[in-house]
Structure 1
Amino acid sequence: MAERATVPSGSWPTPITSALLVRAAARLGEVTVDSGDLWWSESRPGEAGRSALVRRSPDGAVTDVLPSPWNARTRVHEYGGGAWTVAEGVLWFTEFSDQRLYRLAPGDPAPVAVTAEPPVPSGVRFADLRAVPGGVLAVRETHTASGAAADVVNEVVRVADDGTVEVLVSGPDFVSDPRPGPGGELAWLQWDHPTMPWDAAQLVVRTAGGAETVVAGDPGESVVQPVWEPDGGLLFFSDRTDVWSLYRWRPEGGVEEVLDVGADLAGPQWQFGASRVALFPGGRLVVAVPAEAGEQLAVREADGELRTLPTPGYASFRSLTASGDAVVVGAGGPAAEPVVLRVPLDGSAPEVLRPARDLGLDPAWFSRPERVSFPTPDGGTGIGTAHALVYPPANPDVRAPEGELPPLLVVVHGGPTAAAVPVLNLEVQYWTSRGFCVADVDYRGSTGYGRRYRDALQGRWGVVDLDDVIACARYLAEAGRVDPARMAIRGGSAGGFTTLAALAMRPGTFSAGASHFGVADLGALARDTHKFESRYLDGLVAPWPERADVYEERSPLTHVDTLDTPLAVFQGDEDRIVPLEQAEAIVAALRERGVPHAYLLFAGEQHGFRKAENIRAALDGELSFYAQVWGFDLPADEGIEPIEVVR
């Protein structure tokens, strides 16, 4: 074996470049099975980020159902999901460019628009589609010319093949998961401002005769993902016992517990269309249950027995769908990008139906995450421990000079109710293969640790999340694992807020940072953001506008006088969730005070970058920024254009 070369951290040569990240990249979306065919959606950075629909027939032939530039993506709640459905070969989908519903039947030369052109461009949107005889059920979101979040209306509708629209549920601020029952029933979820669906949501059932029953959803109870059983039982997940567990409701017997493993079986409803349980004949169910290294699939037999299914190399599962005597899922693992997997219920070997792209890399290039728990200030939450996935540097060709500790990149996920997931992410490996240590922090407020951990952020956003990211960095530094002089923090959206707040309000730990479409002004966010999140901060921060003082005190923009840490800012100019003005305000303040900073604004991008050229520019730009701040050289063979740092 050849001697590994000695190269300073940050300058390590690596094949995991930004070009590799976007080459033939396709982010797996939702997965379903119809009449023996496997269908899935995938976002393609190389095709301007469009969401393509793909069908795999039983003989293995793979076909793009919608050629470019068709884009099956909805803007309901801005985060979308559930933008398409298929039944007996008939496809319904929302086209991103105009948000209208389209239908494509077998033999049709092209999709046909079903809903009318709205008076406001893209003003009538559809999501959470579910095919029914003669049409489709959907969540419809209607926007007016005012553009005001308060004027947006969300309803459950039935859209017939001829475009006729019938309103089935109206009145609640939000609705989701319209699900037709076997006896003509309709089930759906509903919630009202100021709660989010992971705070409280009701599950309602309407009989064919019109009688309505609230099945579940007491105050402080989050209900998600209702699924009808053929015999009229209704399955759903509820966090009434602190964790999202599986329950069943029957009209004649009420609610019973089906499966509680003491950990979350489901997650927060940021997008429509999630599926965390698959139903099989005879009362069998398949769920994804938490395990030491992520998740594993498990069969719950009708008698209550629970047995796991072998899925070596995979640790995260989504879009669980029954297919004969197997479950079809989207799956990923620490050394595996997401694939579509067929897992037989008898425990035999899984089959990959939609493989990941061939990266041509030895697995030695991949850093494996270590789950770390570390002490953090209680902050009045009653919880003094937080968690992270820590990825050490990994490069089989080079090593750092003797005595050099790696720089640290603390990653702050969005949400803030998201979570770190142990699935191969080339963006993480981009950093670790260059000599960085990456800590993906599950600060208090994250999902996957129960409601008490999630609710610890209520009223404390901008306080305990800062405690946790700083505690993580210091924990790793004190353990001698990272260089305390080269610790950076980065995050997007809500993670961008924590990044900005940590640098402005708790200076001294981090020597650099990067905000991707992050929140700088909480008051402006409360005033200007879209309907779905327009009252989100009432819980995370304080009631708005009654406690505007708290918003001002917690806003990074208020504390720019103490923001002296070099900062890179990345923003899309069409972002409706965290508007452009947020980035512009923080950049203007940095410029006025002479703080070293870089700013990249991407035309045509929304909340998160989808185009290949912009994904590359943001990633390479951030690396170039750290190189200039910390004084290391960029690998010469990548041709990375240095980002402009304004001083």
Structure 2
Amino acid sequence: MTDPTVAKGASVLTQPFGTWPSAVTTALVAGRTVGLSAVQADGDAILWLETRPSEAGRTVLVRWTAGTGAVDLTPPPLDVGTRVHEYGGGAYAVSGGRIAFSHRPDGSVWVIEADGPARAISTVAGLRFADFTFDPAGARLFCVREDHRAGGEPVSALVALPLAGGDPATQAGQVLVSGPDFVSSPRPSPDGAHLAWIEWNHPAMPWDATRLRVGRLERDGTLAGARTLAGDGDPESVIEPAWAGPRALYAASDRSGWWNLWRFTLPGGGPEPVAPMAAEIGLPHWVFGQCSYRPLPDGSILAIAIDHGEARTIRIKDDPDPSMRVHAVAFGHPAQCPAPLADGSLAWIDTPPDGPPAVVHGRVGAPPDTLRAAAVLDLAPGDIARAETIRFPLPDAPGGVQRGHAFFYPPASSRFRGPADEKPPLIVMAHGGPTGRASEAFSFKVQWWTSRGFAVVDVNYGGSTGFGRAYRRRLEGKWGEIDVADCIAACRFLIEHGRVDPHRIAIRGSSAGGLTVLLALARSSLFAAGASLYGVTDLRALAQETHKFESRYLDSLVGPYPAAEATYLARSPLTQATGIQVPVLFLHGLDDAVVPPGQARAMATALSGNAVPHAHYEFPGESHGFRREATIRRALDLELDFYGQVFGFTVPDVSERVVMRS
């Protein structure tokens, strides 16, 4: 029987797994691939952000219209982004042809009007701004301000910036809301009479407990009569407020156990459930500007629902029959809720399982047009690995949760296959967060390995989102235990089903995933190697050194510090280093403010003391996550060569060989 994924007449060569030549090169992944995010629509125009590794990771605002095509709006050196909460997001807003955005390097705020040049409206040193929304009255810009001027922990507030700019006395903005540790999502009602927002306090994270608030915007620009609409009772995570009229406000809340939509009708109606379901409409608030749903002019709601970890697009209608309210919408694979244009068409970032992301434009029921692809692939269908959803048993899972979740990717090549008597090596991926989610969308971080003959399993361990609040809470007080156990359980499931080589398993993870990696190596003999990319190694140091947004995150994941110091020691890879007996690779940016580079240095020193083979590389100019082309290329080659050395095969054509120390 012939393989339909192999080109006619092409021969398939047998070659050891992990050594296959691949068209997924560093030039493709780092040099010819851009990051796409934050699609918005404005009349007949579509805007988005492009992060370009070839421009040292600069992020550019792009606008497309049918008449002009795609045009860059922010020339060098402008770099659209924000470092509020360090993770940023919500870096620009557009309305009626007017655009406001943040310049990442210094936090200044700029405005573009009527296709004129960008002009700065706030250049105050020590201030950062994010989550922009224009005042319907047209004179102000609502946003989140993070104030670092006094040193120490920054102060968060909701402010209004005058769009006229120019006056140094007004460039810090008029404070509307202050006091809570964190604020987000300033959303004015369409008539400009009210402002809704989200706020929360330490030690809660925004996926633990928030409040939805609303106030009256007065003629003098102040905010009055602020009151809480949700979040004053039992802890609930209320996120993503959106208006559907002057008095109709929606938000996503997990009070039912799932992030579902609820409706509030001013002055005092609600909350009313919109369409209860065992699926999540909402994402953890790591970044500003996320959009999981949109009220549409016809009264319906377009939404992205995550059902057991898999995303689907739905439309919710106000039907008296509950069984008729939710309808599946079959078009593409939107990363976030599509944005409607004036003519009723939609724009979104499509994230299919078999190709790179792309900004697309179209209508329901018709193939969309691609406006910008993240990369142009010259790959046969058989070169692309597709996710298989696996459910694996969790032997002692609390809370009635009996199955773990992961996406498995077998090796994929149209030109090569492994020897019949050989199983592929496995790369286990532990996502960051740890409150995050592995997605089934196409990703070069997966295809880089599968196209070379590795299998990959991307684990949604306990604590991951997309499975309801109970699954998310499995990690409370158990970080470093549940995540490790779930990754091991996923591996054992694949071994038992004969999918992978049990003697060639490596585990990799970034940020919080790095802690999972290192503890898995210390506690299990299952893994032959591990790679920690800007990973956590010392929980006590992290609790004392990390930025404000995450400074109390560990209270729920580990326990209050210093009261739970013994647990911090037991869960820190640095104190468990003697349990690691296999090679480890560390990759870390020198400008990382989330997980300082000293964390990797200390762990590498500990492994040296135990004579454990390891390699440690640092990257100037990189923060929490790699953005520059040279860094991405080098990191890919180093990690590939590292696994080649561990698994005993030579990797051809890498730019640099890993130098291991012990």
Q: Same fold (TM over 0.5)?
A: yes
Distance 1:245 1:90 in 2: 33
Work out whether 1:642 is the aligned partner of 2:657: yes
Q: CA deviation at 1:407?
A: 0.4
Supply the RMSD in Å over aligned alpha carbons: 1.6
Instruction: Give matches, 1:148-163, under 5 Å.
Output: 148=152, 151-163=153-165
Contact 1:316 1:423 in 2 (8 A): no
Instruction: Give matches, 1:61-460, under 5 Å.
Output: 61-109=69-117, 111-118=118-125, 123-132=126-135, 133-144=138-149, 146=151, 148=152, 151-163=153-165, 164=170, 165-183=173-191, 184-208=193-217, 210-217=224-231, 218-251=233-266, 252-290=268-306, 294-303=310-319, 305-311=325-331, 314-323=332-341, 324-345=343-364, 347-460=365-478
Q: CA deviation at 1:329?
A: 1.8
One-letter code aligned to 1:540: L
Name which of 481, 486, 489 aligns with 2:507: 489
Secondary structure of the corresponding residue to residue 186 of structure 1: strand
- Structure 1: any 5+ residue segments left out of the alignment? none
Q: CA deviation at 1:315?
A: 3.4
One-letter code aligned to 2:377: L
Distance 2:452 2:328 in 1: 37
Distance 1:116 1:266 in 2: 33
Q: Deviations over 1:201-242 (max 9, x none)?
A: 100011246212211113320011000112420011011111
Farther-moved stretch of structure 1 (211-220 vs 75-84):
211-220
Q: What residue is the counterpart of 1:561 in the other structure?
A: 578
Secondary structure of the corresponding residue to residue 128 of structure 2: strand
Q: CA deviation at 1:129?
A: 0.6
Distance 2:91 2:403 in 1: 38
One-letter code aligned to 2:390: V
Work out whether 1:532 is the aligned partner of 2:549: yes
Instruction: Give matches, 1:36-47, under 5 Å.
Output: 36-47=44-55
Q: Deviations over 1:470-514 (max 9, x none)?
A: 11111111221111110000000010110011112x130101000
Q: CA deviation at 1:174?
A: 0.2
One-letter code aligned to 1:153: V
Equivalent residues, number: 633
Contact 1:30 1:319 in 2 (8 A): no
Distance 1:167 1:380 in 2: 45
Q: CA deviation at 1:279?
A: 2.2
Name which of 488, 497, 502 aligns with 1:470: 488
Distance 1:463 1:292 in 2: 22
Farther-moved stretch of structure 1 (410-419 vs 55-64):
55-64
Distance 2:257 2:131 in 1: 27
Secondary structure of the corresponding residue to residue 139 of structure 1: strand
Distance 1:417 1:316 in 2: 21
Contact 2:109 2:120 in 1 (8 A): yes
Distance 2:380 2:644 in 1: 27
Q: CA deviation at 1:298?
A: 2.1
One-letter code aligned to 1:160: P
Q: CA deviation at 1:60?
A: 5.1
Farther-moved stretch of structure 1 (97-106 vs 598-607):
97-106
Q: What residue is the counterpart of 2:6 in the other structure?
A: none
Q: Deviations over 1:520-567 (max 9, x none)?
A: 000000000000000000000001111111101110100111111100
Contact 1:261 1:289 in 2 (8 A): no
Q: CA deviation at 1:333?
A: 1.2
Contact 2:242 2:294 in 1 (8 A): no
Secondary structure of the corresponding residue to residue 619 of structure 1: helix
Distance 2:396 2:548 in 1: 33
Farther-moved stretch of structure 1 (424-433 vs 253-262):
253-262
One-letter code aligned to 2:299: G
Q: CA deviation at 1:387?
A: 0.7
Q: CA deviation at 1:58?
A: 2.8
Distance 2:569 2:507 in 1: 23
Residues 1:180 and 1:493: Cα distance change in structure 2 (over 3 Å): same
Q: What residue is the counterpart of 2:4 in the other structure?
A: none
Secondary structure of the corresponding residue to residue 646 of structure 2: helix
Contact 2:58 2:79 in 1 (8 A): yes
Distance 2:99 2:295 in 1: 22
Residues 1:2 and 1:341: Cα distance change in structure 2 (over 3 Å): closer
Between the aligned residues of both structures, percent identity stands at 42
Name which of 514, 529, 550 aligns with 2:531: 514
Q: Deviations over 1:582-634 (max 9, x none)?
A: 01100111122211111110000000000011111111101101111111111
Q: Deviations over 1:42-63 (max 9, x none)?
A: 1111111111100001325110
TM-score normalised by L of structure 2: 0.93
Q: CA deviation at 1:162?
A: 3.4
Q: CA deviation at 1:375?
A: 1.1
Secondary structure of the corresponding residue to residue 84 of structure 2: coil
Distance 1:319 1:644 in 2: 45
Contact 2:278 2:307 in 1 (8 A): no
One-letter code aligned to 2:581: D
One-letter code aligned to 2:275: L
Secondary structure of the corresponding residue to residue 527 of structure 1: helix
Q: What residue is the counterpart of 2:5 in the other structure?
A: none
Farther-moved stretch of structure 1 (58-67 vs 191-200):
58-67
Contact 2:334 2:348 in 1 (8 A): no
Distance 1:381 1:552 in 2: 26
Contact 1:488 1:512 in 2 (8 A): yes
Q: What residue is the counterpart of 1:4 in the other structure?
A: 12
Name which of 547, 550, 553 aligns with 2:564: 547
Contact 1:279 1:322 in 2 (8 A): no
Contact 2:359 2:372 in 1 (8 A): yes
Distance 2:305 2:566 in 1: 42
Q: CA deviation at 1:319?
A: 4.5
One-letter code aligned to 2:213: V
- Structure 2: any 5+ residue segments left out of the alignment? 1-8, 219-223
Distance 2:599 2:661 in 1: 19
Distance 2:123 2:625 in 1: 29
Q: CA deviation at 1:332?
A: 0.7
Name which of 42, 52, 56 aligns with 1:48: 56
Q: Deviations over 1:394-431 (max 9, x none)?
A: 01111112211100100000011111111111221110
Q: Deviations over 1:368-388 (max 9, x none)?
A: 110001012325443232110
Distance 2:213 2:27 in 1: 48
Q: CA deviation at 1:117?
A: 3.0
Distance 1:116 1:394 in 2: 50
